[in-house]
Amino acid sequence: MQQGQQPAAGEGNSVSAILADIEEEVYRNERMIKLSVAIEYMIQLVEPKYKEAFIQAEKNARNIEDMNRILELAKKHIGQKTAITMLGL
């Protein structure tokens, strides 16, 4: 379509759909990158005997839900480790 021309019927919708698909993929990739960075940081705080398991889980994660699960488990593990240390258990 040249400048100044009106889109044909339905053409605007297809552009919106294409852009929506791209936006969804960009958001998904952005979220995966953020989660990956957070997990990498958290792994540094995990007990050495569990580090390799967390690293392998991150490498095998296929989606945002997997990454969120790993991050939540790492947070819980670190929190428990801290509580055990503080309580002298």
- In Å, what is the CA distance from 15 to each residue of 5, 28, 41, 56, 74? 15, 20, 39, 40, 41
Q: What is the pLDDT of residues 10-45, one digit of tens each?
A: 556 799 999 999 999 999 999 999 999 999 999 999
Q: What is the pLDDT of residues 40-89, one digit of tens each?
A: 999 999 999 999 999 999 999 999 999 999 999 999 999 999 999 999 98
Give the pLDDT mean for 4-9: 54
**Model pTM score:** 0.72
pLDDT of residue 89: 87
Helix and strand element counts for the chain (H, E): 3, 0
